[in-house]
Amino acid sequence: MKTNFKLTVIILIAIIMLVPTGCSKSAKKENKEEVLQAVKQEKQVSATIELVETDLLRLSEVSYDTDTASECDFDEKVVSYITPSVYIYKIRDVDSEPAGIMLPANEANIIEIEGDWTYVEFQGTYGYVKNESVLFGKEAFSVASEKGTLRTVLSKDNVKVYTDSDTLSDVKATLKKTQGIDIISEENGMLLIEYDGETGYVTSDSVKETYELEQAMTIEDYNAYLEALRQEELRKQQEAEEIRRKQHEAAVAAGLEKYIPTVQGDAIPLSQEEIWLLACIVKYESGWQEYEGKLAVANVVLNRYKAGADSIASVIYARNQFSGVSDGNGGPSEYFKNNYLNQDLSYNLPQAYADECMQAAVEAASGINNIGDFRFFIGINYAEFSRYSDYKVIGGHCFYKY
């Protein structure tokens, strides 16, 4: 009868200590089981506490079907459960050179239990693991049933493969227990299997279901695994960056194509000093850009002024608005004063571009507007287009509003 049940940690301990496994073993295996039981009784309390504290593996949440896969499959295996990993050492010394590493829910084959250590085999490599760092028997099985993959495997060595679904037919092959198989169908109580590209029939008692976990890794394989993870992460980052680049380019293209008509609005009466200040900020922000970009910068300043600012100066010298322009106290920085306010517009700028800076200031003040009511702009390389309700790209700037 199929029995499905949830194991809490307390129930798990009780079962381990009180219920026999029900698997037939030789005298050697019975002796090993006695040693194993002693190890479990000595270590189970601390191991169980660690399991409760481990996010990845919680035995209290594990359930399994006792009819499909057998706990006996894990009498000869250990399973790791500690995050992030458990070392397998070449000798019985935690300060010695590691031979391998077990990630959570990895398995290794038991060769011999030696006191507080277990000698194990994994992928043709051998080493020692501390008993307190791994799970045995039912505990190992419970993790495997939760984290492993249910596989159909041969249950014994020397399995006969018949040509037909009849044990009286010819034997075409004899398979070892380690041979991988796939079940195709069932006929007359026998199973049609595929193995190494061949097909044939085996008796139903020649196969069983078991849970498979990833095996422990050698240090070399682990390093290769980490490198593969790094390369995969790099690949993902590069893919994400390429996607962002294409999205950014598409957004810039859309901003360039957006049409905002240049209109003649009401003039804004400004003093000569304010016109000069406006021309200086145009030079500072867009001196080397096309004239349309200069006119747009001038209109951003005027849009802010029209929105309620006290003066053109209060807009330009506002804290954290035009980087490097303000001294933080409502006045010009020494850099802006010495290189812009107190210099000709042609200082470090071709005369034609300098003339455009003044022209943009004058035309914007006269009411000519090519940017609508936008009050913000930023270099296109720093623009976050998805945050803007509307935007227009002119030259190297994105003009926008939220």
Give a yes or no: residue 342 inside a domain: yes
Same domain? 339 vs 306: yes
Q: Which of 74, 148, 177, 76 is nearest to 119 (CA)?
A: 76
Q: With bands split at pLDDT 50, 70 and 90, how would you rate the model's confidence at 73?
A: confident
Mean pLDDT to the nearest integer, 373-388:
96
* CA atoms of 260 and 393, how far apart (whole Å): 10
Q: With bands split at pLDDT 50, 70 and 90, how would you rate the model's confidence at 151?
A: confident
Residue 71's domain is classified under what CATH number?
A: 2.30.30.40
Mean pLDDT to the nearest integer, 173-189:
92
Give a yes or no: residue 357 inside a domain: yes
What is the share, in percent, of the chain residues with pLDDT greater than 70?
A: 82
Same domain? 178 vs 72: no
**Residue 348, domain extent:** 261-371
Same domain? 93 vs 142: yes
* CA atoms of 231 and 210, how far apart (whole Å): 33
Give a yes or no: residue 176 inside a domain: yes
Residue 221 has pLDDT above 60, yes or no: yes
- Beta-bridge partners for 69: 209
Q: Which residues contact 314 (CB under 8 A, 6 or more apart)?
A: 330
Same domain? 20 vs 140: yes
Give a yes or no: residue 243 inside a domain: no
To which residue do tokens 């199929």 refer? 2
* Per-residue model confidence as pLDDT tens digits over 333-360: 999 999 999 999 999 999 999 999 999 9
Task: Specify whether the CB–CB gap between 98 and 88 falls below 8 A.
Answer: yes
Q: Give the residue with greater pLDDT, 14 vs 363.
A: 363
Give a yes or no: residue 402 inside a domain: no
Q: Which residues contact 22 (CB under 8 A, 6 or more apart)?
A: 71
Same domain? 24 vs 117: yes
Give a yes or no: residue 234 inside a domain: no
Same domain? 91 vs 179: no
| pTM listed for this prediction | 0.59
The end-to-end CA distance of the chain, in Å, is 67
Same domain? 116 vs 195: no
Task: Specify whether the CB–CB gap between 297 and 281 falls below 8 A.
Answer: yes
| Residue at which a domain ends, from 147, 162, 185 | 147
* Per-residue model confidence as pLDDT tens digits over 20-63: 444 444 433 444 455 445 444 443 333 333 333 333 333 333 33
Number of domain units in the chain? 3
Mean pLDDT to the nearest integer, 305-322:
94
Same domain? 56 vs 111: yes
Give a yes or no: residue 381 inside a domain: no
Same domain? 140 vs 160: no
Same domain? 182 vs 132: no
CA distances, 39 to each of 3, 213, 357, 389 (Å): 28, 23, 85, 67
Give a yes or no: residue 389 inside a domain: no
Same domain? 359 vs 296: yes
User: How buried is residue 88: exposed, middle or buried, by Cβ count under 10 Å (0-12/13-18/19+)?
Assistant: buried
What pLDDT does 69 receive?
A: 64
Same domain? 291 vs 359: yes
